[in-house]
Structures are given as C-alpha cells and as structure tokens.
Amino acid sequence: MRFSRRVSLLAFIAAIAAGALSGCAADTGPKTVLTTVKTSVGETVADADGRAVYLYSEDEQGSGKSSCDAACLASWPAVTTDSTDPQGTGIDAKIGEIPAPGGGYQLTLNGWPLYYFDGDTVPKTIKGQGIGGVWWLLTPAGDRITDIGR
C-alpha cells in the first residue's frame, strides 16, 4: 500500500513538473493575443476575441510601466497575458509586455501599455474611443487613432 501511494505521488509530481496537468504550468511560449478588427474608425487593434484595446496617453510610451492607478483600472482594465512571447495577427507594431498590476503581464504595443474599456461589452465596440481626450484606439502599425467615429 505504501509503495503504491509513493508511486502515485511521484507520478503526480512528475506530471506537474512536465506541465501535463491543465492549469499547473504558466504559458511561457508564443501566444496569439492581438489581432485587428474593422470598426467605424477603420482597422483597429483588438484582442484575440475581437475586443478593442486602447492606449492611455497619460502613460509614458516605452517607460515599462502603467500610470493607470486602481481607480483608473476599475473602468480601464489592463490587457493581460501569461505569455512571455505574445504574438499578433495582422499587427505591424511591436508587441511586448510589462509587469501587470495584479500579476502576470500587461500587453504593450510600440511601448504603450494596453487597456480595455469596461463599456465595450461585445467585440468591435469602441465606446471608449476619445474619452477624456486621453483614451485612444490604435492602428495595426501602433499609431494612435484620433477619429472619434461614433
């Protein structure tokens, strides 16, 4: 009986080490996390599910950090991933990551931290575009889109 339990325990530990159990190992490989969608302002960057992503012009491009505090993040959640090699489809800009406020990584595009708008409840919605003159969609080249389009 003891031998059987030891073998089972060793097999379980080996499975964890090999990442064979779902959810036990972090995804550190390439992962398609960004794509493009057509909206009323043209082709914009979105997550893999088609949800629009925004830059916050109060952030400092390339600084490696977000300036969106907890109150800000309540309406503008960070676009996060657990991949250390995020990829995109149809994206010409450089995709990267910075440490995310709650752990993991926040995606960046040409050094801009990326955010969702909590008012965008379905794919291709862009209700956050231009809010406060600081929240902007991005082109696949990573440029800010300033056309409001609503």
Tell me what pLDDT residue 64 has. Answer: 95
Per-residue pLDDT for the chain (150 aa), expressed as one digit of tens each? Answer: 444 444 343 344 444 444 443 343 454 555 779 999 999 999 999 999 999 999 999 999 999 999 999 999 999 999 999 888 899 999 999 999 999 987 889 999 999 999 999 999 999 999 999 999 999 999 999 999 999 876
d(CA 59, CA 76): 13
Tell me what pLDDT residue 23 has. Answer: 41
The per-residue DSSP string of 76-129 comes to S-B-EES-SEEEESS--SPEEEEE-TTSSEEEEETTEE-B--TT--STT--TTT
Domain that holds residue 127: 26-145
Domain count, the chain: 1
- 8 belongs to a structural domain: no
- 138 belongs to a structural domain: yes
Tell me what pLDDT residue 72 has. Answer: 96
